[in-house]
Structure 1
Amino acid sequence: MRAGKRQPWTGRQRWLATGLALAGCLAAGPVAAGTLGGTLQAQMQLTAGCMVAGSSGASAGLNFGTLDFGTRPGTFTGTVTATPSGAEGVSGPTQLVCSPEVLGISIQVGPGAYAGQGTGIGTGSRAMRHGSTAAYIPYELYRDAGHTQPYPAGSAVTGINVPASGAAFSLPIHGQINKSTPAALPAGMYTDTLQVTVTY
C-alpha cells in the first residue's frame, strides 16, 4: 500500500458509516419549527349574598337554631327572654354573614304552628305547645333587644341594617314570654317551629 493513497471503502465500512450518521440524527432529536407565546386569563365573578355563619352557604333548608327559654316551674309568672343559638350545629348565638355590598336586609318570621293559642295566661301572637297535651305558652318575637318592635306573623320587616361590612352579626330575633297569671301548666317540653326568611 502506498502512503497517502486513500483506499476505497468496503461494503461493510459504508454500512457502518451510514448507521452512525443515522444514529447521530436520531440523538439530535426533532428540530423545533417555531414557538407560540401569549397570555391565559383566569377569572371568577362573585355576587352579593348572605349566609348563616357555620353553614356551607346553602340558601334553603337552613337551621337557624333554637329559641331556648330555659326551664321554669309550671307555676311561673313574669317575663322570660331568649335569642336564637346553635344554628347549623354551631354553638353560640345564631349569626349571619353578608358580603360587603349588602347594607340592609329584611326578615320574615312565620306565625308558627299554634298562633293565637294560650292567650288566657299571657300575651303573645305565637305559642308553644306541650308535647302531649293541649296546653300552650304564648310568646312574642321582636327585632330589637328592648322588645319594642315586634315581627308581625308572616310579614317581612324591612330596613334592618347590617351592622358591620362583611363581618358576622347576631340574627336580630328576640323572643319574650310574658306569663301574667300563676295558672299551673303541665310539666314537659313545649315547642313551636317557625319559618324564617332573610332577604338581601
Structure 2
Amino acid sequence: MSDGSGRWGLIDLGTVDGASSATVEAGLVSASGAGLAIECTPGVTAALSVDLGDHSSGGMRMLARSGGSGAIPYQLYAADGSTPWNLQPLPLQFGAGVSRLSIPVRARATLTGAIPAGLYTDTVRVTLSW
C-alpha cells in the first residue's frame, strides 16, 4: 500500500511450511503505526477504496510467487474486519473536531498445502476520494 513516497505499509503473513493448510493472518504496519492513518478536514465525508492487486485472478486477490509459478488466494479486511474488503468503497466520516482516522487493515490467506517454496507478494493500490 502506498503513499506518495511509494508505500503506506506492509502486511507480512510470515514464513509458513509449504505443506500447511492453516489460515494465516496479519495486520498492516505503516510508519504511523497499525493500519492506515488518514487526515482530512473535519466535517468531510470521504471514501477509501482498494483494487484487486497486481496478481488477481477471477476477481480474487492472489499472492504470486517471485520467480516461478504458484499463487495463494487471500482477502483484505478493513475497519470491522468481518467482511472482505473487495472493490466496495469504505465510507469515512470526519465528524466535527475529527481530522484523523485510523483504519485497521489485515490480510488473511487459507493455505491449501503442497505450495511451492518461495516469496509470495502482491501490490494493492488504495484510493482516497472525497
TM-score interval for Structure 1 and Structure 2 normalised by the shorter chain: 0.7 to 0.9
Is 1:165 paired with 2:98?
Answer: yes
RMSD: 2.7
Match for 1:174 among 83, 106, 118?
A: 106
The total of aligned residue pairs comes to 127
How high is the sequence identity, in percent, across the aligned residues?
Answer: 27
How does the TM-score come out when normalised to structure 1?
Answer: 0.53
Larger Cα-atom Rg: 1
Q: Indicate if the aligned counterparts of 1:147 and 1:174 stay in contact, CA closer than 8 A.
A: no
> Matches of 2:40 and 2:52 in 1, distance apart?
29
> Matches of 2:48 and 2:119 in 1, distance apart?
27
> Which structure: greater helix fraction?
1
Counterpart of 1:197 in structure 2: which amino acid?
T
Shift of 1:82: 1.7
> Which structure: greater strand fraction?
2
Is 1:65 paired with 2:9?
Answer: yes
User: Where does the alignment leave 5 or more consecutive residues of structure 2 unmatched?
Assistant: none
Match for 1:129 among 64, 73, 91?
A: 64
Is 1:151 paired with 2:85?
Answer: yes
Shift of 1:93: 1.7
How does the TM-score come out when normalised to structure 2?
Answer: 0.77
Partner deviation per Cα, 1:49-104 (whole Å, 9 max, x = no partner): xxxxxxxxxx7455211111111111111221122113xxx273243142451454
Runs of 4+ in 1 over 3 A off after TM superposition: 59-62, 160-164
SS of the residue corresponding to residue 66 of structure 1 reads coil
User: Where does the alignment leave 5 or more consecutive residues of structure 1 unmatched?
Assistant: 1-58, 118-123
Q: Indicate if the aligned counterparts of 1:103 and 1:165 stay in contact, CA closer than 8 A.
A: no
Q: Which has the higher contact order (CA 8 A, sep 6+)?
A: 2
